[in-house]
Amino acid sequence: MAAFNFFKLSILLSLLSNSHFGVWSETKQSKGISPPSCSRIECPSYDVIHVGSGYEIRRYNSTVWTSTSPIQDISLVEATRNGFLQLFDYIQGKNNYEEQIEMTAPVIAEISPSDGPICESSFVVSFYVPKVNQADPPPAKGLHVQRWKPVYAAVRQFSGFVADSDVGEEAAALQASLDGTIWSAAIEKSHGSNHTSVYTVAQYNSPFEFDDRVNEIWMLFDIKDDFTM
Ligand SMILES: *[C@@H]1O[C@H](CO)[C@@H](O)[C@H](O)[C@H]1NC(C)=O
Ligand SMILES: *[C@@H]1O[C@H](CO)[C@@H](O)[C@H](O)[C@H]1NC(C)=O
């Protein structure tokens, strides 16, 4: 079984591999690129509603995720690995329907401050449920389904392997690039209510791929009807 899983992971690896893309330029306004793995595997669709310097604003209409329970850890990398393994078993058929599910991207980790000992954070790691499974995602022990209403995301892309030391810096850079914009105010408002995670890290590549990796920091928020753009 382990060998079989490894074989599947190798396929996943080759599916996700790609050799040509550019991460956004930070110096000029440019339209963000769709992560390259999304030309090979299913990703949630979105509309780009604004492109700023170093960030873009997307709207995701409605997405369905299968999520782990909150994982308390000091390390995003460790928590994501732990969560990814649970979700990988899930798509391999370790669910109540014994159903295999196609791999998708991204795998996201929502990060919230934890009530636990100082320095720990709480991570919820989620797999994007393919459209074909969205009506009835297989339940599984220890996992739950999240159905997101339409939501906006301020997004910053970065490349390489996600390291704990980088994530805070990338999130801070995103926040700095949003500073003084209408988006910043909307994000702040949402954090008080519906989107309690501080930010989310979206990863589009398998852990075994070492080249041309793309990751994103998302800050999720709602826009009220009376919000003027
Ligand atoms: C999201 O919903 C709006 C309004 O119904 C629609 O115009 C738009 O095409 C949808 N976008 C995506 C990516 O599905
Ligand atoms: C939070 O979600 C509720 C229900 O969807 C919505 O009515 C409310 O406007 C949202 N809050 C904010 C700040 O957008």
Specify the pLDDT at position 20.
Answer: 31
Residue with the larger pLDDT of the pair 212 and 144: 144
Ligand (nearest to CA of 47): 1
Residue with the larger pLDDT of the pair 26 and 229: 229
Task: Give 143: exposed, middle or buried? Use CB within 10 Å, 0-12, 13-18, 19+.
Answer: buried
Q: What is the mean pLDDT of residues 143-164?
A: 94
Specify the pLDDT at position 19.
Answer: 30
Q: What is the mean pLDDT of residues 109-124?
A: 81
Instruction: Return the SS3 of 108.
Output: strand
Structural domain for 118, as ranges: 2-221
Query: Domain for residue 226, yes or no?
Result: no
DSSP 89-117: HHHTT-STT------BS-EEEEEEE-SSS
Amino acid letter for position 114: S
Query: Domain for residue 228, yes or no?
Result: no
Tell which atom from ligand 1 comes closest to the C-alpha of 46: 13
Ligand (nearest to CA of 61): 1
Q: Is 45 in the pocket of ligand 2 (CB under 6 A)?
A: no
Residue with the larger pLDDT of the pair 8 and 156: 156
Specify the pLDDT at position 117.
Answer: 63
Candidate from 34, 58, 61, 64 with most ligand 1 atoms within 8 A of CB, to mutate? 61
Specify the pLDDT at position 99.
Answer: 97
Query: Domain for residue 227, yes or no?
Result: no
Q: Is 62 in the pocket of ligand 1 (CB under 6 A)?
A: no
Angle 202-163-40 (CA atoms, 0-180°, nearest 5)? 35
Nearest to 108 by CA among 65, 149, 145, 137: 65
Query: Domain for residue 229, yes or no?
Result: no
Query: Domain for residue 173, yes or no?
Result: yes
Instruction: Return the SS3 of 207.
Output: coil
C-beta separation of 218 from 155 below 8 A: yes
- Paired strand residues for 203: 107, 215
Confidence of residue 226 (pLDDT cuts 50, 70, 90): low
Total number of domains in the chain: 1
Angle 190-37-57 (CA atoms, 0-180°, nearest 5)? 25
Ligand 2 midpoint to CA 57 (Å): 19
CATH number of the domain encompassing residue 171: 3.20.80.10
Confidence of residue 84 (pLDDT cuts 50, 70, 90): very high
Specify the pLDDT at position 210.
Answer: 78
Residue owning the nearest CA to atom 10 of ligand 1: 61
